[in-house]
Chain A
């Protein structure tokens, strides 16, 4: 019993519960302080996670829970994402009639679910952590109860999320039926072979359930609608955190628990990756709504990251970790701007961004940088991530011809994406605003959070080696048989 290993998750959960209790005795005009306290608490936990490094994998709860380099990398990423999402929530929650503390507590609970997912080494913990995350997101997505699009997004996420959970739990049941064990690998049980029909069908269902989380084709239909309708901080957490948790679980399942099956399914995974890249990028072209555009682009980015999985190597996993960190910075910055630059109730139309550089040069520069990083232009972090992922595929193409087309599709997708990312930049700087609008005042907390994202985008792009080294170390902890 090594329950002490779960300290970070426990601390985040305790912070959420404490926030709910404190909220009961806080007068209405002091609710903002609770949000600040949540940000401070989460930042402290993030700092605390650097106190212990990742040594050999350690297990808790009879091997259900593993703390290794990869789990620690993901936990730090999710804590960082949580801090920025809370800062956005603090700003955004001025639009809510009530419920600032509840909104922050739900974000904390979602972050704790993601952190449990990063350490899952057991099918039961995988399912419970995914549910903790998903159920909180049902509420977070539909939190703006008086705004119709938010409710619509909530209903869509609820129905499709429940369907995905059903796939997931059915798959887990079949895998258990075929192997008689619920552990993944390592100390808790043997890795799965290609196994019987039951195991194969079960793993395919699990792939569909996790595919919903990362938003890959063909489980991507929810993404644009939900991203568009959800409150901007929720959408930020969904894009940066939920996707990262999905990839953490996917890496564990495909590379650690069922490597033989993954090898067998490689052509299908390649097809999914290529289709996600094409679908996301082509559908993003005609979009006029900033959040909807980011929804389609998140499908494309899921496709890019799947390139790191199809090579089935440590280098690919390291590239995914690097890419996720860079993607989180860029997409968080974009959603922060989406939360700040529009009036309450105003749809986030891209043409309405015209003249943003005069209303707030800081927000305009931040959104432009984030778009350029998402497009993958050097020297920003998005470029190095795409470079590493493509490098893996091109190297694999030397061994096997079949990878050649995938590299081509990815390149075509990246070039296509320039059009719509630069469309946003053009709308900010080069189009005339329909009417003069007042300047935007950015609060200190939101400005600092945005600044942290921008530093991440630029610093990890200009000096990629520290993040790259951390990603390599984390991927080295994967127990690939």
Chain B
């Protein structure tokens, strides 16, 4: 049975081989057929549609950007968890009302503690 299951992955393997072959072929063809010659640095710079770089990347950011981004992702993902709950809520309400409502109340309660903590500690304070 396991062998059958593994065979079901054969198309994935074939796709992988085709993809590798395609990319390898492109690179090999361009290396074999492409024009050879000198490559001055100007040829690697942005061309027509791009902007010329004004300074090296990787400058300094204030840590508050990082903090807000992190909190955003945390609460954003927590909200995503509410979607599957909302989908099955009506169905489960008939048989398991305490579990379905109590479960989400506990979940939102934990989030609320986190939110309170973030607010009181000044994590959203942009000037801090």
Contacts and interface: CB of A to CB of B under 8 A. Distances in A.
Given A1-B96, A196-B2, A197-B2, A24 B110 contact: no
B2 A21 contact: no
Contact of A24 (B2, B96, B116): B116
B105 to A, nearest CB: 13
Contacts of A177: 5
B2 A17 contact: no
A1 B102 CA distance: 13
B120 A24 contact: yes
Interface of A: 1, 3, 17, 20-21, 23-25, 177-178, 196-198
Nearest to B99: A1
Contacts of A178: 2
Interface in B1-48: 2, 5
A21 B117 contact: yes
Nearest to A98: B121
Given A23-B117, A24-B120, 19 more contacts: A1-B96, A3-B99, A17-B109, A17-B110, A17-B113, A20-B113, A20-B117, A21-B113, A21-B116, A21-B117, A24-B116, A24-B117, A24-B121, A25-B120, A177-B5, A178-B2, A196-B2, A197-B2, A198-B2
A25 B121 CA distance: 10
A1 B100 CA distance: 12
Interface string B91-125: 00000100100000000011001001100110000
A196 B117 CA distance: 49
Nearest to B96: A1
13 contacts: A1-B96, A17-B109, A21-B116, A21-B117, A23-B117, A24-B116, A24-B117, A24-B120, A24-B121, A25-B120, A177-B5, A178-B2, A197-B2
A178 B121 CA distance: 48
A441 B91 CA distance: 62
Contacts of B120: 24-25
A20 B114 CA distance: 9
Contacts of A3: 99
A20 B121 CA distance: 11
Nearest to A198: B2
A3 B5 CA distance: 37
Contacts of B121: 24
Contacts of A198: 2
Contacts of A196: 2
Contacts of B99: 1, 3
Nearest to A178: B2
The 8 closest A-B pairs by CB, nearest first: A24-B120, A196-B2, A17-B113, A20-B117, A21-B113, A20-B113, A198-B2, A1-B99
Nearest to B109: A17
B33 to A, nearest CB: 42
A19 to B, nearest CB: 10
Contacts of B116: 21, 24
Nearest to A21: B113
Contacts of B110: 17
Nearest to A17: B113
A389 to B, nearest CB: 38
A25 to B, nearest CB: 8
A177 B113 CA distance: 38
Nearest to B102: A3
Contacts of B2: 178, 196-198
A196 B1 CA distance: 10
A33 to B, nearest CB: 18
